[in-house]
Structure 1
Amino acid sequence: MADIDPADASTTSDGSSQENVKTAHVVFTPSGKRGDFPVGTPILQAARQLGVDLDSVCGGRGICGRCQVVPGIGDFSKFKVKSKPENVSEFGKVEDRYKQKRGMKDDRRLGCSSFIHGDLVIDIPADSQVHKQVVRKRAEVRNIEIDPIVRLHYVEVEEPDMHHPSGDLERLEKALKEQWDLTVDRADLPVLQGLQKALRKGEWKVTAAVRNGHKLVHVWPGFHEKAFGCAVDVGSTTMSVHLTDLQTGEVVNSVGAMNPQIRFGEDLMSRVSYVMMNPGGDAEMTNAVRETLGYLLVQAATEAMVDPNDILELVLVGNPIMHHLILGVDPTELGWAPFALATNQSLRVSATELDLKGKVNPGARAYFLPCVAGHVGADCAAVVLAEGPQYRDEVTLVVDVGTNAEIVLGNKERLLACSSPTGPALEGAQISSGQRAAPGAIERVRIDPETLEPRFKVIGSDLWSNDEGFADSTKRIGVSGICGSGIIEVLAEMFLAGLITEDGIIDGSMAQKSDRVVPEGRTFSYILHRGEPEIRVTQADVRAIQLAKAALYAGAQLLVDKLGKPVERVVLAGAFGSHIDAKYAMVLGLIPDCPLDMVASVGNAAGTGARIALLNRQARNEIKELVTRIEKVETAVEPRFQEHFVGAMAFPHKTAPFPNLEKAVQLPEKKAASDPGSGEGGGRRRRRRG
């Protein structure tokens, strides 16, 4: 087979080579991803195996219809594939039922209910791709001292001798001691079960994987040079897996997916409520997240052409509720004060205990970083490990922006932490035209302060909406909604243009200046995009963002009060935080005032911290000790939290000065909005409470 991109690597449906099974070569367009699959494999399964953008939400039961595909017919010389009608299964009962009830174009098939019978070229229509999430949790480049907890050791073992009887394991341990000065005194049962065959196949030369210098993890015959681990970030919205070479530190592949628990609730507390109201709900969510983790591990290994048996270690981070659920611990106690964790210590469990048998080496261990406390989890500990505020002189505010914001403030002298319930609005949920980051979502916005006309960028195109060629570049993906970074920018631009007052009221009087300001009941909306669909920013949208940003600011200010020192540096972490423009975040009052050049976006810092713990065993001891010194502040019982929250509802804040922001941005003069109830541009004014 010709050399191809790892993402296009040929594979069977289970990620292994099966020479004795009749296979078919399948090419998906427009992505160009391809692979070899056993005849009889469902098209949806093949697409998922290759990471093809094909949607499905019903679990392959032929109900949702989102996995529609178009099998190509003809001789595709470009792909060297003859795609014939008989190479796909005949129209089945499930598809027939769906077509009769819901309707489906004649050339289309349901990917979940049609099967590969021969070589195929399969097109994924745009409407089957539109819901594909862009999981922005890449592995950040970072210099890490490589000292993994699992290492490979090649040894030559004495053959058995009738005159000096001893077991194979004992002679292997002796060889490790003599040749590597390792005192190995433990071994799992699977190691013992395969040991004798490995020794004899390797002619008494084997490679042993040893954990922490004393535990035998696995034995390969002969010389084996590959050892991998996975850093796993289990976020409440997205999950990511970074497959990493344990010997070089190189990230060989990163994959991500939406957390399937979203169907049980957008935010963390709604998932806890689901458990409370539905007996066995915790087990449902545990099974869902473990299944997705297993899928991601297989996807990462398959795309990188890595043998799952070479994956020897996992490091997992997540907020306390995700931490508990993936471990199979009921998170109910985290639903009310005093928010007691089952444990806040670091944990090491067998990967098979997480239902990952066959996805990684039988001897693989899963290490969980410690939680800080309450609703400040192992992901926050990982962020601290990655960003190192404990080593700095300047007071640093680290904010992991997500459905539940986790905030750390301090320097080398003292660290404090809290969580703040921002909710999913900052990620596009609870917004009228909101959506998660996906092709077609508006992510950048600018509004002309004179004409009030907007221009914007969408994910999937590098052009602004007023650029020539924008319509052509977005013809396939369309303009479908607003994602988190887009809603931040449009509100900040509306505020700077005078469309929104400091109290968050869309000013109806601006309708005299622009026909984009339109009445909507007793309030007004701003039309950002005319077309199909029409995208508006409503008064309810503004209020949802106000509530989220006020919670974030109030949590940070509470820590400032406790520390007694102002913020000198801000770090925005998380998949969402990495795409926020610092200027607009400060215009809205999402973060406290500080020099804009001291605000940095660091991407998926939790994933980076997980990689550090994966590749450096001393880092595990470091964060374990540091977590005990972080002072936890519980916002739910702090009386000043509500005071800060009320003040932070205004843009950027009702009373707090923003001198650094004012140096960089011309803030609008304070004004009162027209009475939304008047339905006119210049009606009476009324006092609004923030």
Structure 2
Amino acid sequence: MASTVIFQPSGRRGQVEQGKTLLEAARELGVDIESVCGGVKVCGKCKVKIEEGFFEKFGIDSRVEHLSPLQEEEKDFLTEEELADNFRLACCCEVNGDVLLFVPEESRGAKQVVLETGKERTFQINPAVHKYYIEMEPATLEDHRGDVERIKDTLAEKYGLPKDMTIDYFLLRRLPNIVRDAEWKVTVSVWNNKEIILVEPGLAEHSLGLAIDIGTTTVAAYLCDLRTGQSLVVDSMMNPQVRYGEDVLSRITYHMMNDDGLEKMHQAIIEGINTLAQRMTEKIGQKPEDILEVTLVFNTAMQHIALGMEPGFLGRSPFTAGTKESQNIKARDLGIKVCKGANVHTLPVEAGFVGPDNVAVLIAEEPYKEPEKIRMVIDIGTNGEIDIGNAKKLLCTSCATGPALEGAQIKFGMRAAPGAIEKVIINPETLEVSYKVIGQDSWYPDIQKTEAKGICGSGIIDMVAQLFLSGVIDKSGRFNLKLNHPRVRRGEDGKPEYVVAWADETSIGKDVAFTQADVRAVQLAKSALYVGSRYLMEKLGVENLDSVTLAGAFGSYIDKESAMVIGMFPDCDLENVAAVGNAAGDGAKLALLDTGKREEATWIARHVEFVETAIEPDFQMRFAAAMAFPHSTDKFPHIQHLLDRIPKR
């Protein structure tokens, strides 16, 4: 008998013969788990966390009881807290039923490639938190003002700050000792000229802030100097919530199906933020307590879960957010372990699933400052957002792109990590393939043993485009099985597929193939983006685009020609199609370092017009038309020369 085993955050899943260990299952499915001892139960490096509950999207009920009982060796390496939290050693537990498990970062053999960088941007340095050094007259019998009042009077006299500022309660409790130990010479951190959040002895110059882009799949973080605007440390991780679902709807469903679902997902992302804060500050010899301000951007569902808000109503019409306004919340109230008095600032929501992350993209890219040209900005991810317009008018929408473009729902799909095929070229005459693997400098066939184990997002887009341009699949996406070529065949399930890498080239000992179902999954994702784009163009009253900006990690790695060949976005001169990196992360940094950008975010969130495309009466008809490559009827003059060269087979 076989059971379903799902590994997160890699997204790899498959049927595993019962009686095999999780470590053996990982190797079969191409999941890298650290195992220094080779699986003989003496290193303790292969820790995994078993997630319990019913996962509707996968149709499985995952339980710890679906594994063999705890072994003595596991008790030697796992703490009581880990045992209580369903941690196991992958080499020790055998599969006896369906199970979904999360591989923590320290147990992963290969680090996920997450785009953390954006482009150079000009901005004003005006953070919410400023530091002021003051020297106060000591208290005397004649001058018995309170310590708080003495600080506020001195700040008003020396720096012109208002005297009606408040002081953080946790700071207030310690204040008398701080000022006296410092002999009345202190550095005061003030938030927005409204609240004193920290008092430090002597002259304290370091001033740290943390900006975080919480994506559905990945989290990118930026530790910044609030005085200079410099990014001191950039780091990233997989979103730990991936274990509960790969897209926003599956996570909302997990919450609805499990009484403690929201709390589990909330704690997962908070623990992730704390992990990032700890290891980023360590790199510069500081502590998380030195972080004085945090900005968070996320889509609307991720916002609700991160803030512990009820997300269920986002999953049903009219898809209303709990709040659309920007928020300032004490970090300690969320469980974020930074300075006790620090605030967390979140950008506003535009509408529906167009959340603060899209607002962050907008304040980074500023299409609303373009006087004439029509710009389209697409943030491609598990949940895709599209903006179009200029200074005269700006429209936006969201698309349920799904996780296929990031490797999920693809038979050999995987996250961008060493071993992932990232670029593909198929010779249209011989139908032979060349491909490049992350972690390898050379292409196949220049190197025969490529250690490939799957295909990531950029490779998936190349794969579909190359299959189409070489005539292996037709305009509708169907395989041409009349081709007499060993790479074009029927798989074990009888469905058509194209073999990208033969088993002896890979590190998983099996052929890596791209299937008919994989093509369909990409068609569904690209159709959602294309239809959303065309609706916005029509609502704006334009026929052509002057430029297309691809934002986000995925949008920065894909080949723009391949993307247009399959019809991910409307026709545009490829010279005017540009990738700008993680623009949402850039926007989060801008909001951290410049309060003017926060005001700008509030303004644009109110003025951009949201279009709900899914309720349009002809949506299904348009969606079906957009399934074709690049489209069933729309013209693509800028790539017509490529389409004209497709072999007639």
- State the TM-score, normalized to the length of structure 1: 0.78
In structure 2, the residue matched to 1:524 is 496
Q: How many residues align?
A: 564
- What is the correspondence of 1:663-682 to structure 2 with a 5 Å cutoff? 665-669=642-646
Q: Give a deviation string over 1:618-669, Cα, whole Å, max 9, x none.
A: 1101110111111111122112332321111011111000011225x35445
Unpaired stretches in structure 2, ≥5 consecutive residues = 1-41, 53-63, 66-71, 79-87, 95-102, 504-508
Over the residues paired in the alignment, what is the CA RMSD in angstroms? 2.5
Partners of 2:295 and 2:189 in 1: CA distance: 17
For 1:233, what is the secondary structure of its paired residue? strand
Question: CA 1:646 to 1:360, structure 2 compared with 1: closer, same or farther past 3 Å?
Answer: same
Q: 2:564 aligns with which of 580, 586, 594?
A: 586
Partners of 1:554 and 1:99 in 2: CA distance: 44
Partners of 1:57 and 1:571 in 2: CA distance: 39
Query: How big is the shift at 1:308?
Result: 1.9
Look at both structures and tell me which one has the larger radius of gyration over its CA atoms: 1
Query: How big is the shift at 1:280?
Result: 2.6
In structure 2, the residue matched to 1:27 is none
For 1:578, what is the secondary structure of its paired residue? helix
> Does the Cα contact within 8 Å between 1:55 and 1:131 map onto a contact in 2?
no
> Does the Cα contact within 8 Å between 2:375 and 2:388 map onto a contact in 1?
yes
Partners of 1:363 and 1:93 in 2: CA distance: 39
Query: How big is the shift at 1:144?
Result: 2.1
- What is the correspondence of 1:171-320 to structure 2 with a 5 Å cutoff? 171-184=150-163, 185-320=165-300
Partners of 2:263 and 2:239 in 1: CA distance: 15
Question: CA 1:59 to 1:639, structure 2 compared with 1: closer, same or farther past 3 Å?
Answer: same
Q: 2:510 aligns with which of 533, 544, 548?
A: 533
Q: 2:550 aligns with which of 566, 572, 575?
A: 572
Partners of 2:611 and 2:630 in 1: CA distance: 24
Query: How big is the shift at 1:131?
Result: 5.2
In structure 2, the residue matched to 1:551 is 528
> Does the Cα contact within 8 Å between 2:469 and 2:646 map onto a contact in 1?
no
Query: How big is the shift at 1:198?
Result: 2.2
Query: How big is the shift at 1:205?
Result: 1.1
AA matched with 2:148: L
Query: How big is the shift at 1:496?
Result: 0.9
Query: How big is the shift at 1:156?
Result: 0.9
- What is the correspondence of 1:36-55 to structure 2 with a 5 Å cutoff? none
> Does the Cα contact within 8 Å between 2:314 and 2:321 map onto a contact in 1?
yes
Partners of 2:137 and 2:644 in 1: CA distance: 79
Q: Give a deviation string over 1:441-471, Cα, whole Å, max 9, x none.
A: 0000111111111011111112111225x63
Q: Give a deviation string over 1:247-276, Cα, whole Å, max 9, x none.
A: 111111112111121121111111111122
Partners of 2:91 and 2:339 in 1: CA distance: 47
Q: Confirm whether residue 338 of structure 1 aligns to residue 315 of structure 2.
A: no
In structure 2, the residue matched to 1:10 is none
The higher-RCO structure (CA 8 Å, 6+ apart) is: 2
Partners of 2:218 and 2:591 in 1: CA distance: 20
Structure 1 stretch 259-268 or stretch 431-440: which is displaced more?
A: 259-268
Q: Confirm whether residue 322 of structure 1 aligns to residue 302 of structure 2.
A: yes
Structure 1 stretch 132-141 or stretch 437-446: which is displaced more?
A: 132-141
Partners of 1:276 and 1:506 in 2: CA distance: 39
Identity across the alignment (%): 43
Partners of 2:456 and 2:354 in 1: CA distance: 25
- State the TM-score, normalized to the length of structure 2: 0.83
Partners of 2:117 and 2:391 in 1: CA distance: 28
Partners of 2:399 and 2:520 in 1: CA distance: 17
> Does the Cα contact within 8 Å between 2:384 and 2:400 map onto a contact in 1?
yes
Partners of 2:300 and 2:515 in 1: CA distance: 34
Question: CA 1:130 to 1:100, structure 2 compared with 1: closer, same or farther past 3 Å?
Answer: closer
> Does the Cα contact within 8 Å between 1:594 and 1:661 map onto a contact in 2?
no
Question: CA 1:523 to 1:621, structure 2 compared with 1: closer, same or farther past 3 Å?
Answer: same
Question: CA 1:413 to 1:542, structure 2 compared with 1: closer, same or farther past 3 Å?
Answer: same
Question: CA 1:375 to 1:91, structure 2 compared with 1: closer, same or farther past 3 Å?
Answer: closer
> Does the Cα contact within 8 Å between 1:139 and 1:242 map onto a contact in 2?
no
In structure 2, the residue matched to 1:688 is none
Partners of 1:214 and 1:527 in 2: CA distance: 63
Partners of 2:75 and 2:134 in 1: CA distance: 59
Partners of 2:355 and 2:435 in 1: CA distance: 36
Q: Give a deviation string over 1:504-523, Cα, whole Å, max 9, x none.
A: 0111122x2x2111123554
Q: Confirm whether residue 607 of structure 1 aligns to residue 585 of structure 2.
A: yes
Partners of 1:547 and 1:574 in 2: CA distance: 20
Partners of 1:459 and 1:583 in 2: CA distance: 20
Query: How big is the shift at 1:141?
Result: 3.3
- What is the correspondence of 1:148-163 to structure 2 with a 5 Å cutoff? 148-163=127-142
Q: Confirm whether residue 497 of structure 1 aligns to residue 488 of structure 2.
A: no
In structure 1, the residue matched to 2:100 is none
